[in-house]
Every structure is written in structure tokens, then in C-alpha cells.
Structure 1
Amino acid sequence: MRVLVTGGAGYIGNYIVEELLDNGHDVRVLDSFLFGDDALAPFRNHDRFEASEGDIRHIEDLSYAMEDRDAVIHMAGIVGDPACGVNEQATQAVNVEATKTLVEVCKLHDIERLVFASTCSVYGASELMELNEGSFLNPLSLYAESKIESEDIIFHQTHGEFTDSDITATHLRLGTIFGWSRRMRFDLVVNLLTAKAVLEGDIPVYGGDQYRPLVHVADAANAFVTVLEAPKEKVDHQIFNVGDNDLNYQIKKVGKIVEDQVPDAEVRFVEHKEDERTYRVSFDKINYILDWEAERTIEDGVEEIKTWMEEEDITEYEQDVFRNSNYPYM
């Protein structure tokens, strides 16, 4: 297929680009390059790859990028609770209003497939044992709210008696991502705790009882490619949680895993916690319908980050480029 990946230079996006190219697809990236384009360096000379700098809020950028494409994987957006809180108007424009425009441009260009990056944060806080794709949504942040709005926009504009669209649309609700990427992030729990352990010998765990569903960045990318390549009847207007039932961990357990992987570092529990989210998620649907399973463990992620930090002599994890919330979103 000829695929457009919005946000293809991002934390997950560059992995998606790599796997699409490996699988024989023709890939175009549309990205604002707010965090640079170094993550795309390995693909610049590939004969089936091209990159375009642009803003998903601009219809002309979207239209140009979708020319001659068959499918769109929509990753671009302001990602994470802190980043979305920097400028609420920008979050609404980038994460919601741009989605409306994107779907309309998809229709104009006869796009066949649209895969949207959503989040398990839409579940918010729940005492249920495991949440599935049909569970009640309880967003606790603007980020989660914006993803729910975009999910609704995409399905309403591509399905039902009031639309003439033939777009096969699929939403992927991602667990909390971890692991090394060419566009590295240290504002994710596993990555941040690993960085603190390596550089400071300190693993601060706030609260600790709250649950998170975790998934490695490369596995998350693979889920997008799997959905894109799946038979349409299996994924048309479907929602899939992306993660692993065995990676529903309490944060205190995550801290202990990091401690075990990084010699001389110790967990330190802090009673106060600002993030009230806690949820355990079922990934049975994507396992059974698409025969998809995550392959990497938290231990794998911690080890690769630790090795990369040592090899590249990373001595600072709070640099702007490593944290989504450190950038002014206009």
C-alpha cells in the first residue's frame, strides 16, 4: 500500500515507518518536526520513503500529503496529559479540530483505510478488574477527552446512513508506552524511572498502587501495521486496546523491576501522587481477532534504555527534546 503516516518522526511513528518499509509499503510522512527529524535519518535514502514538513491543522498540508495515498495512519497530535495542559486551545485545535479536517480530506482523496492512535487513558480511573473496548469511559484529562472526541468524529464521519464514505476506520487505544526510540521520551513512567535510576541511583515511586497497562514502543508500532494489513472485515470500525494482559502492572512493581535491572539504584516511595488514573485493561480482543501479541517485556525496555544511555553518554533526561510538555504549542 501507499501509506501516509502523520507524526511519523515521533516516538512511535518512526518505528511504524520502519516496519512499513520492511513490509514493502510505500511510505510518506507528514510531520511538523517540532522535535526534529533525526528519527527518520535511517530512511532518508530509501526509494519508497519521502517526508514532508507540515501541520495537520492546515488543509493544504493534509491534501498535499494524501495525494496518491491508499491509507493513513494518524499519529500526529499533542500527546500526554502534561503536554495537553500547556495550551488548551492548541490541544483542541491539533487533537480535535484537525481530526475533522483530516477525515474530510481522506474522503476527497478516496483513502481506503484510516488507523487512528487513541489511548487507554480514556478509561481514567476504574475499580473494575479489567476494562475492555466496550467499558465505560471516564476521562480524567484534556488529553483523554480529546482522544474520545476524535474517536467519535472519525466513526461518525466514516460510518452510518448519513455518510457516503467507504473508509475502513480503526481506533487503537494504546497502553502506556515504554522503551527506546530514535525520538526518545523521558516523560513516560518506565523510561523516566530508568533514567533516574541510571543517572541518580534513585527510583521515586509516587503512590504505587495505581495500575497501568504497559506496552513496548516497537510492539505498539507493530499493532498499527498489523491492523493496516488485516482483512477489512476484521478491523472495519473496530476499536482495539493495544498492550499485554501480563503487563498490567502497579507502578510499585514497575519500580521494583527497574531496581532489579539497574545495580546500585533503589526504589523510594513517595506518598503524594498527582495522577489519579488507575486501570487494568483487557487485550483479549486484539489477541483473538488479529492473533496479535506483544513480544517485549519491561525488562527488555529498561535494559535497552540503560545500554543506550551508557553508549551515548546521556547525562540529562530533562532536556526539552525528551519531554513533550517542555515545548510551547501554538
Structure 2
Amino acid sequence: MRVLVTGGAGYIGNYIIEELLQNGHDVRVLDSMLFGDDALEPFFDHERLEIREGDIRHIEDLSYALEDMEAVVHMAGIVGDPACDVNEQATQSVNIEATKALVETCKLHDIDRLVFASTCSVYGASELMELNEGSYLNPLSLYAESKIESEEIILHATNEKFADANDLTPTILRLGTLFGWSRRMRFDLVVNLLTAKAVLEGDIPVYGGEQYRPLVHAQDAARAFVAVLEAPREKVDQQIFNVGDNDLNYQIKEVGRIVEENVPDAEVRFVEHKEDERTYRVSFDKINYILGWEAEKDIADGVGEIKAWMDQEDITEYGKDAFRNSEYPYI
């Protein structure tokens, strides 16, 4: 399959590129390179990879990138609550308007499949035991709202039939809270940040701690995107899948304890904090049952690999702009 990956130089994107190439697909990347292209360096000379720098908001960049492609994995966007709050107009443009343009351009280019990266944060705050893909959505942030609107754009627009275009098969993946080492490293994610603080400061500050989060390793998330692309059309057409593992629904205080267990001489410190109201436990039965996909890495794996990387590369600072999505100007 010939696959375009928007945002392919990102935290999950580079893992998707690696998985697609390993599975024999031809890959093209469209990325603004806001965070650079270092995450793609291991694949620069790969004969089945083409890298294009461009902006998903520019129709000419989209159209050019979609030429001769069969499928799209749409990762590009402003990711995370703090980053989306930096510039609300930019979030509207990048996360919503660009999605509209992408869908229409996919139709013009007879793209067969579109897989969209959404988030489990669309569930917001819920007292239900486990939320599934049909549960009520309760977004508590601009980021979550932008993902819901994009989901609706994709599913509504691709439901329409066009006589002169192939039917576009869309699939929505709602990702759990990500963690783990990546070639484009992020320390604005809870497991990664607590690990960095534990390694460098011996301190693991847990704010609140009672709130639940569904977690998933970035590499496992990448495998889910490829699994959808390679699945029979009838299994994934117009479908929404939560991406994570039932055993990785953790309270933040439990995450802190796991980090403590895996970083010698670091201690958890609990801080009373009520600012973040999000709490949700999510069911991942659907993706496991329909696609046979399941997570392979747990939190301890993520903590261990981050610690090993920090030690090997002599990482002494986790607050650098390059490690945080919210520190870049989105214009």
C-alpha cells in the first residue's frame, strides 16, 4: 500500500513510519518539521520513504502530497490541552479547518482509506466504570473539542456518496494517554514527566492522584494505526476504536508508585490539587475483539526505556522547548 502520513516526524508518527516500512508499504511523510526531522533520521535513506516538508493548512501541499497515494494516516495537528490553548485560532485552523480540506482532497485523489488520530480525552470526566466508543462525550478542553469536531467532519463527509469518486473508508482511533520513549521525545506527558523528575531530581510529585487515565505506549499506538490500514475494509469502515489496554487504566497515584518502583532513590510526593477535573476509565474490548490488537508494553517498560535513554544521552534537562508541544508558536 502507498501511504501518506501527515505529522510523520512526530512523537507517534516516526513509529508509524517504522512499522509501515517494516511491513513492506511505500510511505510518504508530510510534516511542517516544526520540531525538526531528527525522528526520521534512521529512515532517511530508505528506498520506500519520501519526506516532504509542508503545512496541512495549505491545499497545494496537501494535494501534492496525496498524488498517487492509496491511504492516509492523519497525525498532524496541535496536540494536548496546553498547546491548543496557546493560540485558539491556530487550533481551529490546524485541527479543524485542515481536516475539512484533507477529507475533500482525499476524495479528489480517490484515496481508499483515512485513519484519524483522536483522543480518549473526548470522554472528559465520567463516573462510569468503563467508557466505550458509544459513551457520552464530555470534552473539558479545546483540544478535546477540536478532536470531536474533526471526528464528525470525517464521518459525516465520508458518508456522502459521490458518483465520480471512490468511497473513502474512514476510521477514528481515540488514543489513550501516551507514554514511552520516542525519537521525538516529549516530557509533557504524565509518565514521561514523572520519570524525568524521578531520574534528575529524585522527586515524583503527584498532583491529586485519584483521577484515572487510560495509558498506551507510543509504539503500541503506532501498531494500532497500521493494524487498521491492513484490516479488511468491512471491519474498519466508519468505525471508532479506543486504543489502549484495559489493564492500563490507572489512577495517577498508581502511576507515581510504578515510577518510584522503577527509579532507585526516587520518592513519590503527593500534592493536593483540584485543577484538572478529567477522570475516565476506558474499555478497549472493541479493538481487541475486532482487530485482535492488544498493547505489548506497560508503564514499567516505558519508565525503563526513558531512564536508560536519559542516562545514555546524559539528559540533564526535561523542560527544554523541544520536549514540550506548548512551547512552540503555532501561527
1:157–1:165 contact (8 Å) kept in structure 2: no
Match of 2:118 in 1: 118
Q: What per-residue deviation string (whole Å, max 9, x for no partner) do you get for residues 208-242 of structure 1?
A: 00000000110000000000000000000000000
Q: What per-residue deviation string (whole Å, max 9, x for no partner) do you get for residues 82-125 of structure 1?
A: 00000000000000000000001000100000000000000000
Give secondary structure in 2 for the equivalent of 1:89. helix
Alignment of 1:293-312 (within 5 A): 293-312=294-313
Give secondary structure in 2 for the equivalent of 1:24. coil
Task: State the Cα distance separating 1:272 from its structure 2 match.
Answer: 1.4
Task: State the Cα distance separating 1:274 from its structure 2 match.
Answer: 2.3
Match of 1:17 in 2: 17
Alignment of 1:70-81 (within 5 A): 70-81=70-81
Match of 1:223 in 2: 224
Give secondary structure in 2 for the equivalent of 1:272. coil
Task: State the Cα distance separating 1:162 from its structure 2 match.
Answer: 7.9
Match of 1:194 in 2: 195
Q: TM-score, normalised by structure 1?
A: 0.99
Q: Does 1:140 align with 2:164?
A: no
Q: Distance in 2 between matches of 1:162 and 1:37?
A: 37
Q: Distance in 2 between matches of 1:321 and 1:64?
A: 28
Q: Does 1:207 align with 2:170?
A: no
1:198–1:262 contact (8 Å) kept in structure 2: yes
Q: Distance in 1 between matches of 2:284 and 2:205?
A: 29
| Amino acid across the alignment from 1:47 | E
| Amino acid across the alignment from 1:313 | D
Match of 2:248 in 1: 247
Q: Distance in 1 between matches of 2:275 and 2:8?
A: 31
Task: State the Cα distance separating 1:273 from its structure 2 match.
Answer: 3.6
Following TM superposition, where does structure 1 have runs of at least 4 consecutive aligned residues deviating by more than 6 angstroms?
A: none
Q: Distance in 1 between matches of 2:302 and 2:124?
A: 25
Higher alpha-carbon deviation: 184-193 or 165-174: 165-174
Match of 2:63 in 1: 63
Match of 1:49 in 2: 49
Give secondary structure in 2 for the equivalent of 1:137. coil
2:12–2:182 contact (8 Å) kept in structure 1: yes
Give secondary structure in 1 for the equivalent of 2:167. coil
Q: Distance in 2 between matches of 1:323 and 1:41?
A: 20
1:211–1:278 contact (8 Å) kept in structure 2: yes
Give secondary structure in 1 for the equivalent of 2:156. helix
Q: Distance in 1 between matches of 2:14 and 2:302?
A: 17
Q: Cα RMSD (Å) of the superposition?
A: 0.9
Match of 1:103 in 2: 103
Give secondary structure in 1 for the equivalent of 2:143. helix
Give secondary structure in 1 for the equivalent of 2:182. coil
1:158–1:166 contact (8 Å) kept in structure 2: yes
Give ranges in structure 1 of 5+ residues lacking alignment.
Answer: none
Q: TM-score, normalised by structure 2?
A: 0.99
Q: What per-residue deviation string (whole Å, max 9, x for no partner) do you get for residues 104-151 of structure 1?
A: 100010000000000000000000000000000000000000000000
2:117–2:173 contact (8 Å) kept in structure 1: yes
2:161–2:167 contact (8 Å) kept in structure 1: no
Q: How many residues align?
A: 330
Compared with structure 1, are the counterparts of its residues 27 and 162 closer, same or farther at alpha carbon in structure 2 (3 Å cutoff)?
Answer: closer
| Amino acid across the alignment from 1:186 | F
Give secondary structure in 2 for the equivalent of 1:117. strand
Give secondary structure in 2 for the equivalent of 1:292. coil
Q: Distance in 2 between matches of 1:232 and 1:165?
A: 13
| Amino acid across the alignment from 2:79 | V
Q: Distance in 1 between matches of 2:275 and 2:111?
A: 41
Q: Distance in 2 between matches of 1:23 and 1:123?
A: 33
1:159–1:165 contact (8 Å) kept in structure 2: no
1:158–1:165 contact (8 Å) kept in structure 2: no
Match of 1:291 in 2: 292
Task: State the Cα distance separating 1:161 from its structure 2 match.
Answer: 5.7
